[in-house]
């Protein structure tokens, strides 16, 4: 098929073909081995696994978003009982109990499948809904983290509809609907069993459920203008603090959460080297829906804004511009020259202010893969320099 298809089409066809062929093959077989090594009064244990029969893995192996220590067990060499081993060295490590990893989109869909919730045709809509409505957000490692809005909505729904939000409810209802489709269940009786209790719960929720999005989430902080309470509200640019005295008091503040969950007001920083191009006033660093940006301190009289530069000069010769972070119409982050449209330089991976050790290019680019793995490469594709760095590297 390669001569009839383009590069992307061939990659997709190959993926589908290999996935189908592997689904018809036998499962893989592993030998799991545990070795106890005795020395004096101490006993050291090594656990690993060896592929005895690769089965479907010879054709296709599905990528895993999150590997635990058990999943990524080391491969052990062949050892015999009673054999004397040579000590090469000790590597002491301290381990603490870790909470379960947060879901990514892939692992969340896998969990829904295991719980019998939804159908393959609905999974994409579920992911789109929780992201677009800002109930969750993706971190750099593509993990889904609940927002404060998501936590509040979940808490309110759990109180108002405990039966419907029970994990087994959706799976059970879908089984009943399947019975209706197969003619084994009367659809009127099925809907009546569901709608009766639901109608009652819905009526109580309309009367008792607080309008958190309109009234805001209490914080205990006081307004510095009229001594009213500052509450968390949600707008187009995300969360912010607003006075309950609105519309008489229009005081708003940015905030951040402490490790214990409480909030503290974040004051905007005045830059010392940036002046407004319109009125000459100092520019403030503010945070919006798409990250940080510079805004004139003379607002609302002056509404001048500009992106925050990354401190990296544009690669185009004679340009003299600086790279800034931007968003495409589809919401994808990219990096471009602030001299646009005069300069149309674009980089899709984040630039890092480190010169290429191979060809001397002005900077490298960095990508963060699933699981937090970081890869740095030369901005010049023809150079070919590429290296993997530790997740904690700056």
Please state, in angstroms and rounded to a whole number, the distance separating the CA atoms of residues 346 and 360: 19
**Closest alpha carbon to 141 in 106, 183, 169, 170:** 106
Q: Is 192 helix (H, G, I), strand (E, B) or coil?
A: helix
**CA distances from residue 262 to 111, 160, 197 in whole angstroms, order as listed:** 31, 25, 37
**113 φψ region: left (φ > 0), alpha (ψ -120 to 50), beta (else):** alpha
Task: List 44's β-bridge partners, or say none.
Answer: 37
Query: CA angle 52-57-59, nearest 5°?
Result: 135
**Closest alpha carbon to 296 in 269, 275, 311:** 275
Q: Under a CB-based contact definition with an 8 Å cutoff, are residues 387 and 376 in contact?
A: yes
Predicted confidence (pLDDT) per residue in 78-137, tens digit: 778 888 888 888 777 777 777 888 999 999 999 998 888 888 888 999 999 998 888 898
Please state, in angstroms and rounded to a whole number, the distance separating the CA atoms of residues 272 and 100: 44
**CA distances from residue 113 to 131, 260, 261 in whole angstroms, order as listed:** 19, 34, 32
**Closest alpha carbon to 341 in 363, 319, 362:** 319
Write out the H or E segment, with its range, that includes residue 168.
Answer: helix 167-181
**CA distances from residue 204 to 41, 151, 197, 210 in whole angstroms, order as listed:** 66, 21, 11, 11
**Closest alpha carbon to 376 in 249, 393, 359:** 393
Domains defined along the chain, listed by start = 7-58 (no CATH), 105-208 (1.10.460.10), 216-267 (3.30.65), 349-394 (no CATH)
With 0-12 CB in 10 A as exposed, 13-18 as middle and 19+ as buried, what is 116?
middle
Please state, in angstroms and rounded to a whole number, the distance separating the CA atoms of residues 270 and 227: 26
Please state, in angstroms and rounded to a whole number, the distance separating the CA atoms of residues 131 and 331: 12
Please state, in angstroms and rounded to a whole number, the distance separating the CA atoms of residues 35 and 76: 9
Quick one: tokens of 89?
């060295």
Please state, in angstroms and rounded to a whole number, the distance separating the CA atoms of residues 57 and 12: 18
- DSSP annotation of 135 reads S
pLDDT at 202: 92
Mind listing the pLDDT tens digit of every residue in the chain (394 residues)? 888 888 889 999 999 999 999 999 998 888 888 888 888 888 888 888 777 888 888 888 765 434 444 444 456 777 788 888 888 887 777 777 778 889 999 999 999 988 888 888 889 999 999 988 888 988 877 889 888 788 888 888 998 998 888 888 888 888 888 899 999 999 999 999 999 999 999 999 888 887 776 777 788 888 888 888 888 887 766 678 888 888 888 888 878 777 666 778 876 665 556 788 888 888 887 766 555 678 887 777 888 887 777 778 887 877 878 888 887 776 678 888 888 888 888 888 888 888 888 888 888 888 876 656 778 888 887 888 888 876 544 4
């Amino acid at each position: 098929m390669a001569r009839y298809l383009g590069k992307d089409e061939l990659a997709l066809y190959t993926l589908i073909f290999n996935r189908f062929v592997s689904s018809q093959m036998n499962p893989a077989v592993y030998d799991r081995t545990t070795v106890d090594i005795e020395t004096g009064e101490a006993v050291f244990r090594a656990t690993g696994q060896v592929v005895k029969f690769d089965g479907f893995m010879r054709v296709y192996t599905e990528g895993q978003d999150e590997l635990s220590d058990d999943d990524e067990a080391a491969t052990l060499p062949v050892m015999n009982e009673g054999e004397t081993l040579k000590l090469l060295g000790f590597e002491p490590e301290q381990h603490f109990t870790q909470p379960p990893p947060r879901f990514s989109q892939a692992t969340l869909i896998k969990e829904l499948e295991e719980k019998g919730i939804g159908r393959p045709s609905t999974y994409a809509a579920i992911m789109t809904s929780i992201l677009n409505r800002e109930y969750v957000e993706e971190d750099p490692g593509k993990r889904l983290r609940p927002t404060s809005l998501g936590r509040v909505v979940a808490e309110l729904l759990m109180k108002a509809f405990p039966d419907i939000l029970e994990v087994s409810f959706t799976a059970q209802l879908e089984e009943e609907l399947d019975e209706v489709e197969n003619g084994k269940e009367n659809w009127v009786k099925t809907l009546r069993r569901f709608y009766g209790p639901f109608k009652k719960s819905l009526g109580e929720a309309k009367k008792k459920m607080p309008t958190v999005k309109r009234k805001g989430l209490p914080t205990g902080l006081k307004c510095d203008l009229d001594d009213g309470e500052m509450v968390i509200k949600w707008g187009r640019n995300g969360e912010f603090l607003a006075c309950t005295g609105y519309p008489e008091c229009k005081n708003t503040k940015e905030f951040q959460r402490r490790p214990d969950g409480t909030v503290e007001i974040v004051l905007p920083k005045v830059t010392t080297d940036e002046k407004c191009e319109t009125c000459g006033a100092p520019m403030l660093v503010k945070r919006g829906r798409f990250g940080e940006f510079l805004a004139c301190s003379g607002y609302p009289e002056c509404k001048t804004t500009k992106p925050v530069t990354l401190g990296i000069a544009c690669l185009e010769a004679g340009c003299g511009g600086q790279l800034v972070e931007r968003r495409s119409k589809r919401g994808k982050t990219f990096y471009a020259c602030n001299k646009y449209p005069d300069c149309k330089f674009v980089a899709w991976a984040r630039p890092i202010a480190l010169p290429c050790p191979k060809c001397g290019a002005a900077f490298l680019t960095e990508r963060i893969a699933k699981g937090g793995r970081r890869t740095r490469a030369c901005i010049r594709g023809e150079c070919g320099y590429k290296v993997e760095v530790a997740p904690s590297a700056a």
